[in-house]
Amino acid sequence: MKTAFQKSVPGRMATVPGEPTRRAVEMLPPELLRANPPRLPELSELDVVRHFTELSRRNFGVDANFYPLGSCTMKYNPKFTEQVAALPGFTRLHPLMGQLEDAGHHAQGALEVMYELERLLREITGMAAFTLHPMAGAHGELTGAMLIAAYHKSKGRQRTKVICPDSAHGTNPASAALAGFEVVNIESRDGIVDPEALAQALDENVAAVMLTCPNTLGLFEKHLDRIVELTHGVDALLYYDGANLNAILGKMRVGDVGFDVVHLNLHKTFGTPHGGGGPGAGPVGVAKRLEPFLPISRVVKLRDGRFFLDYDYPQSIGYVAPFYGNFGVLLKAYAYILRLGREGLIRVSENAVLAANYLRRRLEDAFEIPYNRVCMHEFVASAVRQAQNGVRALDLAKGLLDRGHHAPTVYFPLIVKECIMIEPTETESKATLDAFVDDLLELAELAQTSPETLATAPHATPVRRLDETKAARSMVLTDDAE
Amino acid sequence: MPYIPHTPDEVRAMLEVIDAPSVEDLFADIPAGMRPRSFDLPKGRSEFEVIRHLESLAARNNTQMASFLGAGFYSHHIPSAVDALSGRGEFYTAYTPYQAEASQGTLQAIFEYQTAICRLMELDAANASVYDGGSALFEAMMMALRQTRRRKLVICESLSPIYRIMLSTYSANLNLDLTTISHAGGLPDFQALENAIDDQTAAIIVQNPNFFGAVLDYQRLFEQAHAKGALAILQVYPVLQSILKTPGEMGADVAVAEGQSLGLPLSFGGPYLGVMACSKGMIRQLPGRIAGRTTDVDGRTGYVLTLQAREQHIRRAKATSNICSNQALCALRAHIHMCLLGPEGLARTAEISMDNARYAAERLLEIPGVALLNDAPFGNEFAVTLPVSAFEVVNRLTAKGFLPGFPLGRYYHGMDNALLVACTEQNSREQIGILAELLRAEIATRNGGAV
């Protein structure tokens, strides 16, 4: 399919403003202007509409396909939230209006959304305070790591290490490193964090331990109380990666059980769309002792019911975002929470866990399930048996694409060979789950009888298997590089 | 229950397969002592009720004012096709394109966006986006630190104060030396900047137009930086970049921008778009996702995420950045916007905005006591000094439905009387006329009636 640049016709125009009274050369000296106009596409509006419509048809999306991606929580994105985020009363609001004394008066609706969302998230997680500023999960992790650093600094100590289990999502060590910490990995035992290994790794130089629960294998961290005890025993802080929150809504609150810092992924648990890779939102919740360090501004409610943005927090780490976070995403999560309410959120976790266990039981004969016990919202299968016939997790993934399902997460977490991580979420019907199982069982059968067909999958997608090695070697990153 | 399809019969059927007596049984791993102390959330509401509630909140925001507020974030017209196309479920409900064969729409769109950004900046490579202009600046800074292995940054004070606070927040634990060189009447002090660059400097960081709206040429400064082995990072404004001297022409190594002005609504602070582009020699330092072109087994052209060894899911603690989700849908919108406007549309948008700004400056300068902050050329935004507090003027005029601009004293010490005024193609001459009259009247009142 041609690119927009290849379709460009010189002189063609789509949505351009009327001719300006003066051109650039009449307003600025030539040495400040570019020598040549940018070679952007010159297309008609219909050209553009056709081009992007055709592109969209080359994509899978939750609206059309089942996406059982472990740790991604690809649940249905409710359409009404799009409508709400598009209200002109929100979209046309300049962020600086929240900061100018009286103009804050003109942004009361937006400030209330933020205030209320923080309140709801506090109650959902049991944390003492929130910031909505981080613009993605990894950004929330970085913010959390900076809060942890500020906490220890305020105690006059210089702690340099952060502990992550080997099953942690790559963003955990990456975020800790970006905040200036050295990362120490500990090995899991029987799929979960081993308190003995943790005890060995903990010392007065550890700033924090980063966990997720359930972990990336979908297993509840059975030794959580011991982990909390050990971590707090050296006054290190316990960090919760909220990627898997979909498993525990209304069943456990991370603030209650001893986590000090938490990030949430609104684009996972709270149904905001993934957008092909963002925008997301990664609000961070903290225990009381970390509250002074939260980024500024913070939304405050005055006695007369008005809201304002308070910047007066001398111990704050500063700005992690230019303003208040991905407000348009926050709106969608807020609407989602209001829609579901208390009961709805509890049912989310119940049905997410139910669906995951259902798939696990239906697949356990054909596939190796390394930790075959009751899982939470996701579980891990391994393609080791199929690999003996030369059919790897990657080949199964491509085979699923041919059957109209997006593949589950493959090759993560790193601690399971030929890993396939499956998370159905609570929004998929039993019919969809059964169709997925049937297709995967069929693939397992093919892996036995004619493995070579899977080595060449997919066949039914707009392009077939792509040469990634060539891409990295030839580095064609724009339409001009060849 | 909204969005959960299972009927009681289906739940029973699934429990039978699982061989569990109840759903609650599946949570047996969570001990009683770890159950929620409270879960006091409101009862769920119908779609209609929630929409009504959000509409009432939206109505409490005043977006009807004639606005001259910019400061890095601008209200330009977004063609309707941007919403229509980016609102297609195949784009916005898709995941990150790790399974490339099922994601050619997203991947080709990213590849095209990268191409458009490179052509706008006249640089060699771009990534698929980072969160916003401020994080783009931080990531650019990190690129320079890694490339040069030096620890000092020289930063111009006329770079956005919002972004300078972000840089200092992110740098707090990284043992860096951030040297800020004071502005001189809203302009960079070129001599002081040159003096500050030494053989410990990783990069010089400047912005064009700068925060005060001044349009300048940094080519010589960048040559001086290169002579000392330092890199040049330039932050730009994408709409004006369609006509201004490019980062490539000036010799910048990394260009960053806030992409909000390309098809993203102001939306009270986000989601926005961190644009990054770099020269060939810096490509391996680029953070985030990058789409590359390749072929499939049948020789068809296709696109994949590439150079992934830079990223967190491969390199973990040694990754170039921790970034995972970025702003993919926003980059898509920006690219659609650039396709709809084309080079002529973007240039006209810039020129009309600049023309309006010149008219506004003329009218405001007619008011006694009002002067330009400096006489540098400006784009679509300029700073004036008033004989009264800019904060008070902003307060009084917003009460009358006019947002006259940004009081610079908010971020710059000793500039309480300075106002930053932005115009776009959305401001009419009539509006500008009324703004001038209101300002004149306000100043006269504050001066005790003396005109």
Q: Are A89 and B39 in contact (CB < 8 Å)?
A: no
A368 touches B at CB < 8 Å: no
Contact between B343 and A29 using a beta-carbon 8 Å cutoff? no
What single DSSP character describes residue B124? S
Cβ pair A69, A216 in contact under 8 A: no
Q: Spell B65-84 as b/e; 16+ CB within 10 A means b.
A: bbbbbbbbbbbbebbebbbe
Cα separation of B116 and B120, whole Å? Answer: 6
**What does the CA dihedral B334, B336, B341, B343 come to, rounded to 10 degrees?**
70
Residue type, B200: Q
Which chain A residues are Cβ-neighbours of B129 within 8 angstroms? 278
CB A326, CB A279: distance < 8 Å? yes
- Cis status, amide bond into B271, omega within 30 of 0: yes
Looking at the complex, report in whole angstroms how far the Cα of residue B146 sits from the nearest Cα belonging to chain A: 12
Query: According to the model, what pLDDT value does residue A415 have?
Result: 86
Instruction: Please check whether residue B415 is in contact with residue B383, taking contact to mean a CB–CB distance below 8 angstroms.
Output: no
Contact assignment for A339 to B47 by CB distance below 8 Å: yes
CB contact under 8 A, B217 and A51: no
Extract the tokens encoding B22: 């109840």
Q: Which helix (H) or strand (E) holds A378?
A: none
Average pLDDT, chain B: 96
Q: Inter-chain contact A136–B242, Cβ cutoff 8 Å?
A: no
Put simply, the answer to whether A103 touches B169 (Cβ < 8 Å) is no
Instruction: Check: CB of residue B17 under 8 Å from CB of residue A365.
Output: no
Position B233 confidence tier, pLDDT thresholds 50, 70, 90: very high
Q: Which of A413, A397, A408, A423 is nearest to A73 (CA)?
A: A423
Please say whether the beta carbons of A43 and A6 come within 8 A.
Answer: no
Q: List chain B residues with CB under 8 Å of A359.
A: none
Residues of A in contact with B294 (CB under 8 A): 466-468, 470-471, 474, 476
- Amino acid letter at A214? P
- Which whole number is the average pLDDT over A403-429? 95
Task: Please state, in angstroms and rounded to a whole number, the distance separating the CA atoms of residues A71 and A406.
Answer: 14
Across the interface, whether the CB atoms of B267 and A327 are under 8 A apart is answered yes
Rounded mean pLDDT, A57-79: 97
Q: In the predicted model, is pLDDT for residue A54 greater than 90? A: yes
- Sign of the C-alpha dihedral, residues B390, B395, B399, B402? positive
pLDDT tens readout for residues B46-57 = 999 999 999 999
Q: What is the DSSP string of A132-197?
A: ----SHHHHHHHHHHHHHHHHHHTT----EEEEETTS-THHHHHHHHTTPEEEEE-EETTEE-HHH
Single-letter amino acid, residue B214:
A
In what helix (H) or strand (E) does residue A238 lie, and over which residues does it extend? strand A237-241
Q: What is the pLDDT of residue B315?
A: 78
Comparing CA positions, the residue from A453, A90, A378 lying closest to residue A218 is A378
Name every chain A residue with its beta carbon within 8 A of the beta carbon of B30. 220, 248, 251-252
Contact of B265 with B80, CB cutoff 8 Å: no
pLDDT tens for residues B211-230?
999 999 999 999 999 999 99
> In the predicted model, is pLDDT for residue A210 greater than 50?
yes
Segment B169-188 shows an average pLDDT of 96
Please name the helix (run of DSSP H) or strand (run of DSSP E) that holds residue B352, with its range, or none: helix B328-365
With an 8 Å Cβ cutoff, are B131 and A135 in contact?
yes
Confidence band of A27 (pLDDT split at 50, 70, 90): very high
Residue at token pair 């499939």: B296
Cβ under 8 Å to A: B residues 176-205: none
Chain A closest CA to B105's CA: distance in Å?
4
Query: In degrees, to the nearest 5, what angle opens at C-alpha A332 toward C-alphas A218 and B8?
Result: 55
Closest CB from A78, A328, A472 relative to B271: A328
Contacts A84 to B, Cβ<8 Å: 50-51, 54
Encoded amino acid at A142, one letter? L
Share of chain A above pLDDT 90, in %: 95
Band the pLDDT of B447: cuts 50, 70, 90. confident
* Confidence category of residue A306, pLDDT binned at 50, 70, 90: very high
Measured distance CA(B131)–CA(B154) in Å, rounded = 23
Q: How confident is the model at residue B317 (pLDDT cuts 50, 70, 90)?
A: confident
- Minimal-distance CA residue of chain B relative to A16: B345
CA distance A366 to A420: 13
Supply A8's token pair: 């460009």
Q: Which residue of A has its CA nearest to B105?
A: A55
* Choice between A99 and B109, residue whose per-residue pLDDT is larger: B109
Q: What is the mean pLDDT of residues B116-139?
A: 97
Of B26, B85, B323, the CB nearest to A357: B26
Of B271, B307, B311, the CB nearest to A326: B271
User: What is the reported pTM?
Assistant: 0.97
Q: What are the backbone angles phi and psi of residue A414, rounded to the nearest 5°? A: -65, -15
> Would the pLDDT of B352 be above 80?
yes
Give the pLDDT of residue B449.
54
**Distance of alpha carbon A477 from alpha carbon B305, whole angstroms:** 10
- Rounded average pLDDT over A216-241: 96
Query: If contacts are CB pairs under 8 Å, which of residues 356-395 in chain B contact chain A?
Result: 358, 377, 379, 391, 394-395
- Mark yes or no for CB contact B101/A124 under 8 Å: no
Contact yes or no for B326 and A278 at CB 8 A = yes
What's the pLDDT score for residue B451?
Answer: 46
| Tokens, residue A408 | 């589950």
Q: Using a CB–CB cutoff of 8 Å, tell me whether A174 touches chain B.
A: yes
A89 vs B348: CB contact, 8 Å cut-off?
A: no
Higher pLDDT, A30 or B446: A30
Q: What does the pLDDT average to over A341-358?
A: 98
Indicate left, alpha or beta for A318 from its phi (over 0: left) and psi (-120 to 50: alpha): left
Query: Which pLDDT band holds residue A414 (cuts at 50, 70, 90)?
Result: confident
Whether residue A413 is predicted with pLDDT greater than 90 in this model: the reply is no
Closest Cβ–Cβ partner in A59, A248, A347 for B91? A59
Phi, psi of A237 (to 5 degrees): -100, 150
Task: Identify which of A235, A176, A182, A245 has the alpha carbon closest to the alpha carbon of residue A210.
Answer: A176
- Shortest Cα–Cα distance, A381 to chain B (Å): 16
- Residue A5 has its nearest CB partner, among B33, B115, B358, at B115
Token couple for B377: 């050329």
What phi, psi does B345 have (nearest 5°)?
-65, -40
Helix (H, G, I), strand (E, B) or coil at B107: helix
Q: Per-residue confidence at A482, pLDDT binned at 50, 70, 90?
A: low
Q: Do B73 and A179 touch (CB under 8 A)?
A: no
Note whether A390 contacts B: Cβ–Cβ < 8 A.
no
**Which residues of A are less than 8 Å from B115 in CB distance?**
3, 5, 478-480
The C-alpha atoms of residue A355 and residue A378 are separated, in whole angstroms, by: 9
B292, B306 Cβ separation under 8 angstroms: yes
pLDDT over 80 at A453, yes or no: yes
Residue A418 contacts residue A110 (beta carbons within 8 Å): no
A419, β-bridge pairs: A382
Distance, CA of B237 to chain centre: 9
Mean predicted confidence (pLDDT) in B9-25: 98
Task: Give mean pLDDT, residues B201-206.
Answer: 98
Question: Mean pLDDT throughout B11-23?
Answer: 98
Q: Give the lowest-confidence range in A334-343, A439-448, B318-327, B363-372.
A: B318-327
Does A43 contact B at CB distance below 8 Å?
yes
B312:A101 CB<8 A: no
Q: Which two tokens stand for residue B376?
A: 């540098």
Asked if A459 has any chain B CB less than 8 Å from its own CB, the reply is no
pLDDT tens readout for residues A89-117: 999 999 999 988 765 789 999 999 999 99
Least CB–CB distance from A468: residue in B304, B321, B344: B304
Q: What is the mean pLDDT of residues A235-263?
A: 98
Q: In Å, how far is A183's CA from the nearest CA of chain B?
A: 7
Whole-number Å distance between alpha carbons of B153 and B158: 15
Say if the Cβ atoms of B292 and A27 lie within 8 Å.
Answer: no
Q: Is A401 exposed, middle or buried (0-12, 13-18, 19+ CB in 10 A)?
A: buried
Report the pLDDT averaged over residues B173-179.
95
Q: Measure B289 CA to nearest chain A CA, in Å.
A: 9
Tell me which residue in B93, B133, B290 faces A61 most closely, judged by beta carbons. Answer: B93
Query: Would strands B231-236 and B201-208 be described as parallel, antiparallel, or unpaired?
Result: parallel
Tell me which residue in A34, A471, A477 faces B244 most closely, judged by beta carbons.
A34
Q: What is the mean pLDDT of residues B180-209?
A: 97
B-interface mutation test, from A9, A192, A477, most B Cβ less than 10 A away: A477
A339·B65 Cβ contact <8 A: no
- 3-class DSSP assignment, residue A289: helix
Pair A331, A84: CB distance under 8 Å: yes
Please tell me the distance from the alpha carbon of residue A289 to that of residue A298, in angstroms, as a whole number: 16
pLDDT over 70, % of chain A: 99
